[in-house]
Amino acid sequence: MDYTGSGEPFCIPLQHIMEMDSIREKLERLHRKARDLGFEGFGVARAESGVWALRYQEWVEKNFHGEMAYMARNPEKRSHPGEVLAGAKSVISLRMNYLTREKDLSFLEDRTTGDVSLYALNQDYHNVVLPRLKQLEAAIEREFPGRLTRAYVDTGPVLEKPLAEQAGLGWVGKHTNLVTEHEGSWYFLAEILVDVALPETSPAVDRCGTCQACIDICPTRAIVAPYVLDARRCISYLTIELKGVIPIEFRKAIGNRIYGCDDCQIVCPWNAYAVKTDATVFAGRSETWRLVDLMALDDETFRQRFKGSPIKRVKRRGFLRNVAVALGNSGDVAAVGPLTRALGDEEPLIRAHVVWALGELLGARALALFQEKIPDEADPWVTREVEDVRVRHPA
Ligand code: B12
Ligand code: SF4
Ligand code: SF4
């Protein structure tokens, strides 16, 4: 990496040149340390979000964040890294690959099996990346004693993608993920804010060109314009972030995706160059995702199976809600038994989606089943779904 710095005045005092040389050497050492810690990408940006801050604010005004209230909280912090760390001058931006296996759209063919996003097949990345970031932070402290730092991986009010673009790690593609020429987009981002002015790396250049494969493939039309995502429509949001009922209009399009979605990245031509990681922490689980088996998970088996996995974030009720939607889309009659048993689940969120799934699999015949199994159902989520089946599948 060439730390060229930017806009230095023509006539520079010798002492200043020596200071800059010393800072570049420190940065080279930090870059090497980051590589040893498993960060494949390393760059430096000025601690400013510029035009991105305005775009972010527009995004929130349009309510594209849906129920992710944290995205609307403290907009001044998210817009200005200097509000997150007083005196922040630079951001060291990092990326860590998580691709351990190829992925294509063939998961769509077997509807009795669920699809889980690649990033979630591994250990929770926050637990993997944060300790390494902390080690890099300690190395910064050694190079710049007494200076302030703040490290985040998805965890802080910062616009990670624009900062990474400024730091030259890749460009924000039309699907709104960061893409790197010859390395694709299957990686996590992280950053360390520092109150030292470090020489910046050159920003990345947008290479999407006329391509719009990600926009065309998106099952829910969530990329409402190039570079703009309405998160409320995105399957990643609907299956992970949304805590309540998944709007009916998106359920069919969700198909068999039960945790997140990778489609817009799968079709991105730059991912043909994606670099695989051999980091064992990201070795994907080799388990099967048979939907009828997942539907039978109780609290204990859910906890055991997803210990250390990001999936535990959505809790059993969120996960089985997603599994019920996928079963409704499976066309699998073998699912009727497990779904019928789940009508007695104590979680209304699960029962509500199970009602929808049975309506999809059995049509009007599901109504007799509801009459037999849940005659006294009183939860408004569930009764609304029963009513909806009645409307959509009149006897
Ligand atoms: C909220 C969030 C989500 C939300 C919203 C996604 C989004 N696009 O914002 C949901 C839940 C949908 C989501 C999904 C995913 N996420 Co997410 N998410 C975040 C989070 C926490 C904040 C992102 C953010 O700031 N959004 C706010 C909006 C305003 O940002 P934006 O979409 O980038 O919007 C920009 C554009 O609209 C642009 N813009 C607007 N108009 C215009 C016009 C032009 C001309 C241009 C050029 C740009 C432009 O400006 C906006 C400001 O940056 C970040 C971590 C972080 N702190 O940054 C992770 C993060 C972005 N997510 C990540 C991942 C891996 C995912 C998923 C791939 C997971 C999955 N497989 O299911 C999906 C991808 C979905 C997608 N197509 O984006 C990674 C991305 C890594 C990468 N390579 O980029 C991050 C960085 C986490 C991490 N630390 O690694 N995520
Ligand atoms: S993650 Fe899936 S739903 Fe979200 S924008 Fe990409 S293709 Fe669309
Ligand atoms: S699929 Fe095409 S438009 Fe979308 S991010 Fe990749 S290169 Fe850009």
Domain presence at residue 30: yes
Cα distance between residue 237 and residue 243, in whole Å: 10
| CATH number of residue 334's parent domain | 1.25.10.10
Cα distance between residue 190 and residue 61, in whole Å: 26
Based on the domain organization, do 23 and 172 belong to the same domain? yes
pLDDT at 284 over 80: no
Based on the domain organization, do 32 and 178 belong to the same domain? yes
At residue 111, the 3 state secondary structure works out as: coil
Q: Nearest bound ligand to CA 271? A: 3
Domain presence at residue 298: yes
Domain presence at residue 229: no
Give the residue with greater pLDDT, 3 vs 60.
Answer: 60
Based on the domain organization, do 24 and 161 belong to the same domain? yes
Domain presence at residue 250: no
Of 214, 218, 273, which is best to mutate to test ligand 3, by the most ligand atoms within 8 angstroms of its C-beta? Answer: 214
**Mean pLDDT score, 117-143:** 94
Instruction: Map tokens 């309405």 to a residue.
Output: 230
Torsion of CA 320, 324, 325, 327, to 10 degrees: 130
Cα distance between residue 371 and residue 377, in whole Å: 9
Domain presence at residue 247: no
Closest CA to 202 of 235, 161, 171: 171
At residue 124, the 3 state secondary structure works out as: coil
Closest CA to 316 of 298, 291, 304, 290: 298
Residue 217 Cα: closest atom of ligand 2: 7
Confidence of residue 100 (pLDDT cuts 50, 70, 90): confident
Residue 307 CA, ligand 1 centroid: distance in Å: 26
Based on the domain organization, do 174 and 319 belong to the same domain? no
Residue 263 CA, ligand 3 centroid: distance in Å: 11
Based on the domain organization, do 186 and 37 belong to the same domain? yes
Beta-carbon count within 10 A of 113 CB: 18
Nearest CA to ligand 3 atom 7: 208
- Asked which of 168, 194, 220 is the last residue of a domain, the reply is 194
Indicate the number of domains in the chain: 2
Instruction: Map tokens 């009513």 to a residue.
Output: 387
Domain presence at residue 95: yes
Nearest CA to ligand 1 atom 16: 236
Cα distance between residue 138 and residue 150, in whole Å: 11
**Global pTM?**
0.95
Residue numbers annotated as active site: 154
Cα distance between residue 284 and residue 286, in whole Å: 6
pLDDT at 88 over 70: yes
- Asked which of 194, 213, 231 is the last residue of a domain, the reply is 194
Note the Cα 142 to chain centre separation in Å.
33
Based on the domain organization, do 132 and 21 belong to the same domain? yes
Token digits of residue 180: 């790197």
Q: What percent of the chain has pLDDT over 70?
A: 96
Residue 20 CA, ligand 1 centroid: distance in Å: 34
Least confident range from 40-44, 50-54, 87-91: namely 50-54
**Mean pLDDT score, 217-225:** 98
Based on the domain organization, do 79 and 188 belong to the same domain? yes
Q: Nearest bound ligand to CA 158? A: 1
Based on the domain organization, do 300 and 156 belong to the same domain? no
Token digits of residue 224: 């409402």
DSSP 8-state assignment for residue 237: I
Range of the domain at 353: 290-395
DSSP 8-state assignment for residue 191: E
Domain presence at residue 387: yes
- Asked which of 194, 209, 244 is the last residue of a domain, the reply is 194
Residues 181-198: tens digit of each pLDDT? 989 999 999 999 999 999
Answer yes or no: is the C-beta of 216 below 6 A from any ligand 3 atom: no
**Residue 355 dihedral angles phi and psi, to the nearest 5°:** -60, -45
Domain presence at residue 187: yes
**Mean pLDDT score, 333-343:** 98
For residue 76, the model assigns a pLDDT of 92
Beta-carbon count within 10 A of 394 CB: 9
